[in-house]
């Protein structure tokens, strides 16, 4: 579930990346800033907690990105080599990458518990999920899943929605 959500978010925000670059903004920075503000509000961190928490959280985020990249690479290699003599090895590599990703999540909770009360660690996990759901909801409102045109009249993305007769009227970018 986490992998699908992250992948979905990556694809969706990449769709808006070109528009953001043209407008001079970096979508990753905007999402990160929104996430930091959201988590800060949801967790109600004291100053001391924040000083201890954010370095750990940032390190975990870095580990997550690296693990996700390794998992994507292993997935692509498996996809390309599915009919090769290497399939068993490629499958094992992919499963190992998934296990490494899961280990990061388990380790993250233990690290968070060293700097935050367990109640705030639980709130963090719930808040991260809530933030992901909000971002996915924003994507749905932007027409990403409804078959509407993308930003600045670009064609809608293929896949869910796609060109199956939905409303293809251009959407207005969010302010």
Residue 99 forms part of a structural domain = no
* pLDDT tens, residue by residue, 137-164: 888 887 666 555 444 444 444 443 433 3
- Residue 93, pLDDT above cutoff 90: yes
The burial class, CB within 10 Å (0-12 / 13-18 / 19+), for 106 is exposed
Q: Whole domain around residue 16: which residue ranges?
A: 1-45+126-175
Question: What is the pLDDT, as a whole number, of residue 139?
Answer: 80
Q: What is the mean pLDDT of residues 95-106?
A: 96
Residue 11 forms part of a structural domain = yes
Which pair of structure tokens corresponds to residue 136?
């996915």
* pLDDT tens, residue by residue, 118-139: 999 999 999 999 999 998 888 8
Residue 72 forms part of a structural domain = no
Q: What is the pTM of this model?
A: 0.65
Residue 12 forms part of a structural domain = yes
Residue 74 forms part of a structural domain = no
Residue 22 forms part of a structural domain = yes
Residue 28 forms part of a structural domain = yes
CB 141 within 8 A of CB 14: no
What is the Cα Rg of the chain in Å?
A: 19
Domain count, the chain: 1
Residue 54 forms part of a structural domain = no
CB 109 within 8 A of CB 126: no
* pLDDT tens, residue by residue, 1-38: 444 434 444 444 445 545 545 555 688 888 999 999 99
CA-nearest of 112, 104, 110 to 56 is 112
Q: What is the mean pLDDT of residues 89-117?
A: 96
Question: What is the pLDDT, as a whole number, of residue 173?
Answer: 44
């Amino acid at each position: 579930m986490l992998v699908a959500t992250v992948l979905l978010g990556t694809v969706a925000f990449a769709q808006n990346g070109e528009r953001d670059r043209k407008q001079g903004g970096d979508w990753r920075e905007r999402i990160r800033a929104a996430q930091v503000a959201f988590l800060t509000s949801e967790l109600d961190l004291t100053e001391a907690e924040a000083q201890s928490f954010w370095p750990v959280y940032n390190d975990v985020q870095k580990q997550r990105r690296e693990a996700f990249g390794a998992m994507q690479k292993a997935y692509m290699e498996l996809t390309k080599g599915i009919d090769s003599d290497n399939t068993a090895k490629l499958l094992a590599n992919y499963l190992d990458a998934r296990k490494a990703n899961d280990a990061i999540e388990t380790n993250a909770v233990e690290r968070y518990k060293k700097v935050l009360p367990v109640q705030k660690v639980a709130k963090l996990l719930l808040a991260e999920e809530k933030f992901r759901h909000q971002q996915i909801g924003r994507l749905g409102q932007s027409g990403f899943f409804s078959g509407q045109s993308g930003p600045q009249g670009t064609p809608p993305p293929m896949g869910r929605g796609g060109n199956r007769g939905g409303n293809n009227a251009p959407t207005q970018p969010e302010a």
